[in-house]
Structure 1
Amino acid sequence: MAKRPTKEIILEKALKLFADKGYDGVTVRDIAAEVGIRQSSLYKHYISKQEIFDTLVDTMQSRFMDASATFQLPSGEIREIAQEYAKDSTDILKKISSEIFHFYLKDPYASQFRKMLSIEKYKSKEIDRIYREVYIDTAISNQAQIFEEMIKQGYMRKADPKIMALQFFAPIFLLLNRYDGIAEKEAEAIEILGKHIEQFDKIYREGEIK
C-alpha cells in the first residue's frame, strides 16, 4: 500500500482537532504532534495554521464538487434544468436531496468540516461568511432560481421563489442537525426527507406535467 502524503495527513488531523477544540484552541504544535512529526517539519508543508485552514476550505469545496458529479444533477440552461425537475416530479428532488444529505451526514470530512465551522462562525466574521455561503446562501439562491423558472413555465403555482426555497431547505437543514452524530438513523431521516419533498410538491405543483 502506497504511503499517504504528509500534507494530506496534516489536513486530516488538523480538521479533527479544529472540529473538537475550535480553531483558536489548536496550535501548530498540536497538529504536528497529532501527525507524529516535528513542528519544523510541518512548516515544510504549510507556512501557518491559517494556510492549513484555508486549504481545508478549498479541499471541502473540491470534495463536494467531486461528490456532486455522482449526484447526476440536471445541467444546462436554467430553462432546461427547470424542465428536468418538473418532468420527474418528486423523484429527482428525492434522489438529489437524499444523496446530498448522505454526503453531509456520513462523509467524515464533510461532517467534521461542518462541525468546525459551526464552532468558529461565532468567533470570526470570515468563517461565518464561509458557513453561510456553503450551507445556506448558495443553496437557497440556486434553488430560488430554479423555482422561479418553473413558475414562469407554469410547472409551479405563483409564489415568491425565495420564500419557496427557504421553505424547501429549512426542514432539510433541520433534519441534518437533528441526525448529526447518529448516522445509523440515516434511513429514518431519508424517509422523513422524502415525505417533506412530497408535501412541498403537493403545495406548489401546478397541474400535471405532460
Structure 2
Amino acid sequence: MAKKNTKEIILFESLKLFADKGYDGVTVRDIAAEVGIKQSSLYKHYKSKQEIFDTLVNTMQLRFRDASASFQLPDGELEEMAKKYATGGNEILKKISSEIFHFYLQDPYASQFRKMLSIEKYKNKEIDRIYREVYIDTAISYQAALFDEMIKQGFMRQTNPEVMALQFFAPIFLLLNKYHGIAQKEKEAIEMLEKHIEQFDMIYRKKEI
C-alpha cells in the first residue's frame, strides 16, 4: 500500500475533524495538531481552511469517478443505457446499486464526507447546495431521465418518471442513513436494498414485453 504524503494526511484528518465538529468548529491549528505538524508547515500545503474544504469536495468527486469504473455501469447514449438496464432485468440494477451502496457505506472518505455535509448543510448555504447536488438532485434527475426513456421504449409502465425516481431513490437514501456508522451490518442493508429493487421492478416493469 502506498504511503500517504503530508498533503493527503492533512486532507483526511481535516475531513474527520469536520465530520466530528463541523467546519466552523475546527481551526487550522486543530488540523495541524491532529496531523502532528506546525501550523506554519500546514500553510505550505494549503493556503486556508477553505482551500482544504474545496479540495475535499474535488477529491470526493474524483474518488467516486474512480470507484464508478469498477461498478461496470452501462455506458453510451441514454437510449442505449435504458435498454441495457431493462433487458438485464433487476439483477444488473441490484448489482450496481449494491456496489454504490457499499462505496458510500464503507469507504472511509465517502462516509466521513457525507457526515460532514450532513452536519454543515444547516449552517452553510454553499455546503447545503453541494449536499443537495451530490446526494439528491443529480441522482434523482439521472434516474428520472433513465426511467423516462425506459417508459418510451415500452419496458416500464406509463407513469410519471420523476415520481418513479423519488420512489426508487428515497428508500436507498434512507437505508444509507440508517446504516451509517454500523457498516458491520452491511449484509442486512444489502438484503433490504435488493428486496426494495425487486418490489420496485414488480410494480413498474411491464409484464408483456
User: What do residues 91-150 of structure 1 show as CA deviations (whole Å, max 9, x unaligned)?
Assistant: 111011100100000100000000000000000110000000000000000010000000
Q: Which residue of structure 1 aligns with residue 17 of structure 2?
A: 17
Runs (4+) of structure 1 exceeding 4 A deviation are none
Q: CA deviation at 1:5?
A: 1.3
Aligned counterparts, 1:69-80, within 5 A: 69-80=69-80
1:148-186 residue CA offsets vs partner (Å, 9 max, x unmatched): 000000000101100000000000000001111111110
Q: How does 1:1-210 map to 2 (within 5 A)?
A: 3-209=3-209
In the alignment, residue 45 of structure 1 is paired with which amino acid?
Answer: H
Aligned residues with identical type, % of pairs: 79
Opposite residue 148 of structure 2, the aligned amino acid is E
Amino acid at match of 2:105: L
Distance 1:171 1:58 in 2: 27
- Name stretches of at least 5 consecutive residues in structure 1 with no aligned partner: none
Hey, what's the Cα distance between the residues in 1 that align with 2:27 and 2:208?
58
Whole-angstrom CA distance in 2 between matches of 1:78 and 1:23: 38
Q: TM-score, normalised by structure 1?
A: 0.98
Supply the distance in 1 between the matched residues of 2:4 and 2:188 (Cα, whole angstroms). Answer: 36
Aligned counterparts of 1:207 and 1:2: Cα–Cα separation in 2 = 51
Question: Between Structure 1 and Structure 2, how many residues are aligned?
Answer: 209
Change (3 A) 1:3 1:201: closer
Please, what is the CA RMSD of the aligned residues? 1.0
**Residue segments in structure 2 that go unaligned for 5+ positions in a row:** none
How far 1:4 moved relative to its partner?
2.5
Task: For residue 90 of structure 1, give the secondary structure of its aligned residue in structure 2.
Answer: helix
